[in-house]
Amino acid sequence: MDQVSTPMESYISYMLAAAHRAVHQTLAARLKDQGMQVETWRILEALDSERQLTMGELARTVLMNPPTLTKMVDRMVSQGLVHRQIAASDQRKVNLLLTDLGRKRMTEIRELVRLQDREILAQFDPQQVEVLNRVLRDLSDTAG
Amino acid sequence: MDQVSTPMESYISYMLAAAHRAVHQTLAARLKDQGMQVETWRILEALDSERQLTMGELARTVLMNPPTLTKMVDRMVSQGLVHRQIAASDQRKVNLLLTDLGRKRMTEIRELVRLQDREILAQFDPQQVEVLNRVLRDLSDTAG
DNA sequence: TGAATTTACTTTCCAAGTCAACTATTAATT
DNA sequence: AATTAATAGTTGACTTGGAAAGTAAATTCA
């Protein structure tokens, strides 16, 4: 795969898109074998770390727009991975909770993701990894 | 905007997605004011640097799947930004060419993109920028 | 040479995403 | 307290994206 050297590579938005796409696609392919989508796993993972996440909080965490999340959660509910619970404190809010199946699937998939992470990071030295994390974190705050 | 610190941030695929999303969204918002989409601009830019790009080459360059590109090019043709030309050497191939309008729009937008790039990179020191470029380039080769 | 294969691109059909409008609930104002 | 405004989430109409099939041209090979 010889990627032709174009001036495109001088734009950060492009380089980020390219790197993201490559990493996302390999991960997606692996998870697909397990009948799992990257975004679906991300939701499960987020629900595991913070308990009692509302739809809004979750949307921000998993980088989705609210309508997209609502529809994806609908599918996940019908797959038995999560269930909705109206918050007691505020009836407008919806808390999402993992089912046992959801937690089980999440744990399995998590290992695959960590494996890929290790494979990917193995090609860089620790300083590079540190800079990457630092910079990506700062870039994430670029937008509101 | 206080992004809660979650273990999500320990996954590279997530950090890449977050950084990409943030940068993409601010850029998209600016280009939208000019009635331009990021992907549309990317196509124009690619066509400007390499002349006589076929659909397939272009798809790889601008990080799109062929069917998606075909449809986007259809729209761009009807907007008068590009036009198709069947390659003389191989009748299966389609060369895309910038129109005068396409080239004009591209030049205008390019400045906006470069401006944002400068703003973003200003917050990092040169070594960080160098590592970022190096690492993103390597990550792009993660997938085929 | 002509049948089979590969390559380039497009189309089709269906799944998924998005904007704007909508409902319900809570908070703020006067 | 009653009205208005703001917030949380969902819905609906529309657009876009993607996998797989379709078309057509070029290439391989028997």
pLDDT, one tens digit per residue, over B42-73 is 999 999 988 789 999 999 999 999 999 999 99
Closest CA to A132 of B40, B10, B32: B10
Question: In B, which residues are within 8 Å of A140 by CB distance?
Answer: 3, 15, 18-19, 21-22
As for how many domains chain A has, the answer is 1
Facing residue for A13 by CB, picked from B27, B50, B143: B27
Distance separating alpha carbons of residues B104 and A66, to the nearest angstrom: 37
Q: Residue A117: CB partners within 8 Å, gap ≥ 6? A: B11, B12, B13
Residue B44 resides in a domain: yes
Q: What is the mean pLDDT of residues A70-94?
A: 97
Nearest CA of chain A to the CA of B42: how many Å? Answer: 8
Residue A1 resides in a domain: no
pLDDT confidence of residue B42: 98
Range of the domain at B122: 7-143
Q: What is the mean pLDDT of residues A110-117?
A: 96
**Of A50 and A42, more confident:** A42
Q: What is the mean pLDDT of residues B124-142?
A: 96
Interchain CB contact of B101 with A (< 8 Å): no
Q: What is the mean pLDDT of residues A59-79?
A: 98
Kindly give the pairing relationship between strand A94-98 and strand B53-54.
unpaired
* Closest CA in chain A for residue B139: A19
Is the separation of the CB atoms in A24 and B62 below 8 Å?
Answer: no
pLDDT confidence of residue B50: 83
CB proximity under 8 Å: B 5-34 to A: 6-9, 11-27
The CATH number of the domain holding residue A138 is: 1.10.10.10
Residue A18 resides in a domain: yes
Residue B2 resides in a domain: no
Question: In B, which residues are within 8 Å of A28 by CB distance?
Answer: none
pLDDT confidence of residue A1: 46
Residue B1 resides in a domain: no
pLDDT band at A2 (very low <50, low <70, confident <90, very high): very low
Question: In B, which residues are within 8 Å of A117 by CB distance?
Answer: 11-13
Rounded CA–C1' distance between B72 and C11, in angstroms: 14
pLDDT confidence of residue A3: 47
Residue A77 resides in a domain: yes
- Residue A47: enclosing H or E segment and its boundaries? helix A38-49
Rounded CA–C1' distance between A10 and D5, in angstroms: 47
Residue B55 resides in a domain: yes
pLDDT band at B2 (very low <50, low <70, confident <90, very high): very low
